[in-house]
């Protein structure tokens, strides 16, 4: 068993690593941008594929990762894991359908609600304690999922027709333009100090330093990693002001990330 994930603010990384901590502590889970990720996946028959949902759809970077290796997925058993701020309908089903086209066997789908990660829009913002409670519930759900998987029973979140209809009608149909391609809307204000942190964090290599300031390209995958980490709060995407830098680690006060909050 191995895992591959895209994680912007730490939500998805936590979820897949906690699941592996409970199922098999020796199983590797690596970020999608890691150079040897494809080689690692080719060595395993069971893959956990995890990512954050965007407007009830799969991030473009995730779609491209799947499409770029069409032969890799043939015959692989895959559990699709989707993290979300509130609702996705068929978040796991979106990648499951694409992977099936390339010959993968989808064993299950798993939806996990985590704290909202959109830093520059007020919608869905919660208090610190509310977000901690969301993580507590997510941890419990992952623990129950691990128990069921050990018994050979996999969750089927987002894999049914009614899930697909819900995802389509509630979000994807209306916001398809935001997820059909990479975004060129990343904005960097004069507050940028040119520290270069965002250029090192970006999984899509969409940020560079020019004349001592960060500069954005046209291939933003909307993961919000740079926005949530910029020390100057100089980067925005959907909004124009950073409301809150939402990162998983800020809600964790005990030292072991794979253990539930107390």
pLDDT of 123: 85
Burial of 213 (0-12, 13-18, 19+ CB in 10 A): middle
pLDDT-based confidence at 237, cuts 50/70/90? very high
pLDDT of 175: 87
Burial of 254 (0-12, 13-18, 19+ CB in 10 A): exposed
Question: Is 258 a residue whose pLDDT tops 60?
Answer: no
Length of the chain as a residue count? 262
Q: What percentage of the chain reaches a pLDDT higher than 70?
A: 96
pLDDT of 177: 85
pLDDT-based confidence at 226, cuts 50/70/90? very high
User: What is the chain's alpha carbon radius of gyration, rounded to the nearest angstrom?
Assistant: 18
pLDDT of 255: 43
Q: Give residue-wise pLDDT tens across range 20-44.
A: 999 999 999 999 999 999 999 999 9
Question: Are the C-beta atoms of residues 13 and 7 closer than 8 Å to each other?
Answer: yes
What's the pTM value of the predicted model, to 2 decimals? 0.92
pLDDT of 86: 87
pLDDT of 178: 85
Compute the distance between CA of residue 182 and CA of residue 230 in angstroms, rounded to an integer.
21
Beta-sheet strands, E only, within 41-161: 46-52, 77-84, 105-113
Domains of the chain, start order: 2-178 (3.40.50.360), 187-248 (3.30.70.20)
DSSP class of 171: I
Q: What percentage of the chain reaches a pLDDT higher than 90?
A: 89
Find all residues with CB under 8 Å of 84, minimum gap 6, and list them. Answer: 52, 53, 91, 111, 112, 113, 114
Question: What is the mean pLDDT of the segment spanning 124-132?
Answer: 91
pLDDT of 187: 96
Question: What is the mean pLDDT of the segment spanning 113-120?
Answer: 95
pLDDT of 179: 87
Question: Are the C-beta atoms of residues 221 and 65 closer than 8 Å to each other?
Answer: no
């Amino acid at each position: 068993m191995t895992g591959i994930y895209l994680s912007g603010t730490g939500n998805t990384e936590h979820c897949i690593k906690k699941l592996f901590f409970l199922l098999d502590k020796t199983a590797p889970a690596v970020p999608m941008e890691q150079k040897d990720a494809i080689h690692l996946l080719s060595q395993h028959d069971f893959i956990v594929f995890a990512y954050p949902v965007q407007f009830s759809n799969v991030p473009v970077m995730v779609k491209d990762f799947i499409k770029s290796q069409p032969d890799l997925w043939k015959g692989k058993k895959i559990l699709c894991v989707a993290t979300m701020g509130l609702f996705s309908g068929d978040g796991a089903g979106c990648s499951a359908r694409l992977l099936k086209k390339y010959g993968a066997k989808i064993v299950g789908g798993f939806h996990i609600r985590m704290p909202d990660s959109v830093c520059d829009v007020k919608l869905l913002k919660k208090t610190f304690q509310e977000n901690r409670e969301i993580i507590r519930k997510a941890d419990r759900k992952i623990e129950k999922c691990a128990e069921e998987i050990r018994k050979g029973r996999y969750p089927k979140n987002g894999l049914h027709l009614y899930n697909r209809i819900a995802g389509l009608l509630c979000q994807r149909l209306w916001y398809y333009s935001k997820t059909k391609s990479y975004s060129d809307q990343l904005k960097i204000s004069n507050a940028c100090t040119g520290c270069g942190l965002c250029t090192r964090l970006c999984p899509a290599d969409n940020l560079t330093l020019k004349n001592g300031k960060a500069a954005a390209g046209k291939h933003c995958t909307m993961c919000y990693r740079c926005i949530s980490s910029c020390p100057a709060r100089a980067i925005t995407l959907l909004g124009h002001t950073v409301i809150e830098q939402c990162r998983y680690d800020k809600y964790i006060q005990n030292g072991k990330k794979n253990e539930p909050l107390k």
